[in-house]
Amino acid sequence: MTRRVAVTGIGIVAPGGVGVPAFWDLLASGRTATRGITFFDPSGLRSRIAAECDFDPAAHGLATEEIERADRYIQFALVAGDEAVRNSGLDLGREDPWRIGVSLGTAVGGTTRLEHDYVLVSEAGRRWDVDHRQAQPQLHRAFSPSTLASAVAERFGAQGPVQTVSTGCTSGLDAVGYAFHTVQEGRADICIAGASDSPISPITMACFDAIKATSPNNDDPEHASRPFDNRRDGFVMGEGGAVLVLEEEEHAKARGAHIYCRLDGYATFGNAYHMTGLTSEGLEMARAIETALNHARLDPTAIDYVNAHGSGTRQNDRHETAAVKKALGQHAYSTPMSSIKSMVGHSLGAIGAIEVVACVLALAHQVVPPTANYETPDPECDLDYVPRVARERSLGGVLSVGSGFGGFQSAVILTRQRGRT
């Protein structure tokens, strides 16, 4: 008998507010959380804007030693994890710890701390033979991003399969996908899944500057993230973290849990084309969608909403428009497709999980979040991108897609239970 995977808890730290209610309020209202960078002096950078989180870890229950020990991106995951586990109603202390897994994604991991300490040990870039005596005590915890899943597992007492996934900007979708496989294939009954990143740092901003991937619209940051709009000029960096509690459906039912929706399909492929470039045909993303549908035993017409990667680069928007049309056929034209990156920016490895949480909420509220700032259609992008205003709609199946550096193309499918047994 196939095991099914239910979503029973969600938690989030995103730009615009911490926690699920603030996040949904932002999405449903179509407001944007992009602004001028405040974390450091961005002068000299081409793109000086970002979607920053106003996040006070102490106010969200982290103790002083946890705050010192955990990098910002891990703090996001801990706080989002707290919310998700609370929301699930699980008493993890009563569960078999070997049957609880963790699968979290991050694209750049602890690079913010790595950069911070690098400046100390190198005399601000003067020496190659760095002086180790200037390093801070927690530096080793930033060296490998495996610290992310480790810290979350320790917090929740998980002793099953614990994994950090890092596939660039599809990390969030892939971490959720791996968790899905972990529960479906029986290696765990509960998996704490999600992703986190805090990439608003000089080195990461500079490296996206160098490839002109980020928006230079510094004078109008609130309207700078413009996916699918003909005047888009790059993505706006973001940060944040999202966690979902995935649970074997019978396990969830047995404890009378509230089930938000089911995770029914996941697939990922490489485009074998270019580390940063995308084809205009989108065949590999289309195949990911088709394979995920196939695994979910769903017809394309079962998809009522597409949560787009929608980063706000011309090549992305055309690539994924083509991919969705190829995978959904004529149905694509009557299916709303929006990008929440217009509101919360692009938080690299985290965004995939943030978008899955957005999909869970869309299903829960039966509302499609909009693409903010969308005003001027691009003749080559001719789907319904849900301009600026959220839309009520009967939603049964939703699809979330993503593309990542390395050529990765991933798709996740969620369905809401409609009186099914």
Partner 1 sequence: MSITVDELSELMKKAAGVTVSPADLQDRADSGFDVLGVDSLGLLGIVGELENRHGVPMPVDAERCKTPRQFLDLVNSAMPAGA
Partner 2 sequence: MMSEPRSRRAAVTGIGVVAPNGTSTETFWKSVQEGRNVLDKVTRDGCEHLPMKVAGEVRDFDPAAAVEERLIVQTDRFTHFAMAAADLALEDARLGRADTEGSPFDVGVVTAAGSGGGEFGQRELQQLWGKGSRFVGPYQSIAWFYAASTGQISIRRGFKGPCSVVAADEAGGLDALAHAARAVRRGTDVIVAGSTEAPIAPYSVVCQLGYEELSREPDPARAYRPFTEQACGFVPAEGGAMLVVEDTGSARARGLPVRATLDGHASTFTGASRWAESRAGLAQAIRGALAEAGCAPEEVDVVFADALGVPEADRAEALAITDALGAHGRRVPVTAPKTGIGRGYCAAPVLDTAAAVLAMEHGLIPPTPGVFDICHDLDLVTGRARAAQPRTALVLSRGLMGSNSALVLRHGAAG
Shortest approach of partner 1 to residue 208 CB, angstroms? Answer: 11
> Measured from the CB atom, is 43 or 394 closer to partner 2?
43
Contact status, residue 113 vs residue 139, Cβ threshold 8 Å: yes
User: Which of these ranges, 82-90, 137-145, 224-232, 244-252, lies near partner 2 under the rule CB under 8 A?
Assistant: 137-145
Tell me which of 8, 34, 147, 338 binds partner 2, using CB under 8 A. 147
Tell me which of 56, 143, 258, 376 binds partner 2, using CB under 8 A. 143
403 contact, one of partner 2, partner 1, none, CB 5-8 Å limit per kind = none
Which two tokens mark 5? 């995977």
Residues in 95-114 that interact with partner 2 by CB under 8 A: 98, 102, 106-109, 111, 114
Tell me which of 146, 230, 315, 417 binds partner 2, using CB under 8 A. 146
Q: Is 346 one of the annotated active-site residues of the chain?
A: yes
Q: Which residues lie closer than 8 Å to 374 by C-beta, 6 or more apart?
A: 226, 227, 228, 229, 342, 385, 386, 387, 388
Shortest approach of partner 1 to residue 373 CB, angstroms? Answer: 23
Residue ranges in contact with partner 1 by CB under 8 A? 210-212, 274-277
Residues in 29-48 that interact with partner 2 by CB under 8 A: 44-45
> Measured from the CB atom, is 119 or 210 closer to partner 1?
210
List 223, 251, 319, 346, catalytic entry = 346
Tell me which of 4, 226, 232, 287 binds partner 2, using CB under 8 A. 287
Tell me which of 18, 37, 79, 162 binds partner 2, using CB under 8 A. 162
Residue 159 sits in the site that holds partner 2 (CB under 8 A): yes
Residues in 398-417 that interact with partner 2 by CB under 8 A: 404-408
Shortest approach of partner 1 to residue 211 CB, angstroms? Answer: 6
Shortest approach of partner 1 to residue 275 CB, angstroms? Answer: 8
> Measured from the CB atom, is 39 or 405 closer to partner 2?
405
Q: Could you give the C-alpha distances from 400 to 11, 84, 144, 176, 327, in angstroms and in order?
A: 18, 20, 28, 11, 13
* Single-letter amino acid code for the residue at 354: I
List 169, 191, 359, 381, catalytic entry = 169
305 contact, one of partner 2, partner 1, none, CB 5-8 Å limit per kind = none
| Distance from C-alpha of 206 to C-alpha of 247, rounded to nearest angstrom | 40
> Measured from the CB atom, is 56 or 219 closer to partner 1?
219
> Measured from the CB atom, is 39 or 269 closer to partner 2?
269
Count CB atoms within 10 A of the CB of residue 283. Answer: 17
Which two tokens mark 165? 């996934």
251 contact, one of partner 1, partner 2, none, CB 5-8 Å limit per kind = none
284 contact, one of partner 1, partner 2, none, CB 5-8 Å limit per kind = partner 2
- Three-state SS for the chain is CCCCEEEEEEEEEECCEECHHHHHHHHHHCCCCCEECCCCCCCCCCCCEEECCCCCHHHHCCCHHHHHHCCHHHHHHHHHHHHHHHHHCCCHHHCCHHHEEEEEECCCCCHHHHHHHHHHHCCCCCCCCCCHHHCCCCHHHHHCCHHHHHHHHHHHCCCCCEEEECCHHHHHHHHHHHHHHHHHCCCCCEEEEEEEECCCCHHHHHHHHHCCCECCCCCCHHHCCCCCECCCCCECEECEEEEEEEEEHHHHHHCCCCCCEEEEEEEEEECCCCCCCCCCCCHHHHHHHHHHHHHHCCCHHHEEEEECCCCCCHHHHHHHHHHHHHHHHHHHHHCCEECCHHHHCECCCCHHHHHHHHHHHHHHHCEECCECCCCCECCCCCCCCCECCCEECCCCEEEEEEEECCCEEEEEEEECCCCCC
> Measured from the CB atom, is 371 or 400 closer to partner 2?
400
Residues in 259-278 that interact with partner 2 by CB under 8 A: 267-276
List 309, 319, 359, 381, catalytic entry = 309
Q: Is 261 one of the annotated active-site residues of the chain?
A: no
Residues in 164-223 that interact with partner 2 by CB under 8 A: 164-168, 174, 178, 181, 185, 187, 202-203, 205-211, 213
Q: Is 309 one of the annotated active-site residues of the chain?
A: yes
- The footprint of partner 2 on this chain (CB under 8 A) covers a number of residues equal to 82
> Measured from the CB atom, is 174 or 304 closer to partner 2?
174
159 contact, one of partner 1, partner 2, none, CB 5-8 Å limit per kind = partner 2
| Positions marked active-site | 169, 309, 346
